[in-house]
Amino acid sequence: AIKKRPERDFKIEFVTEKDYEDFALTRHDLIRVQPKYHQVTVRCPKEAIPSLLDALKGKDVKFMTEVPFTLATYFNERQQRKKQEAK
């Protein structure tokens, strides 16, 4: 995994659809949504992690895990950006 990134990616799964929707509709930093599983992946600056945890207070969270950022992830995202810029 790549260390010392200014951002962290977190995968969060909610127990209820209501908590999933409430959280997902208020976030602009979602990089992946999986409604079928009530899951979101959020990209969050390191200094904003406490506010992310505050946003999860009162929600029924099944799990939250940090997604490792690897060299493969970096190149995949870079390739996707180039494809979008070419359109």
- Give the model confidence (pLDDT) of 56-78 as tens digits: 999 999 999 999 989 998 899 89
Q: Is 13 exposed, middle or buried (0-12, 13-18, 19+ CB in 10 A)?
A: middle
What does the mean pLDDT of the chain come to? 93
pLDDT attached to residue 57: 94
Joined tokens for residue 49:
């992690």
Spatial separation of the C-alpha atoms in residues 59 and 38, rounded to whole Å: 12
Counting as low any pLDDT under 50, the low residues of the chain are none
pLDDT attached to residue 27: 87
pTM above 0.75, yes or no: yes
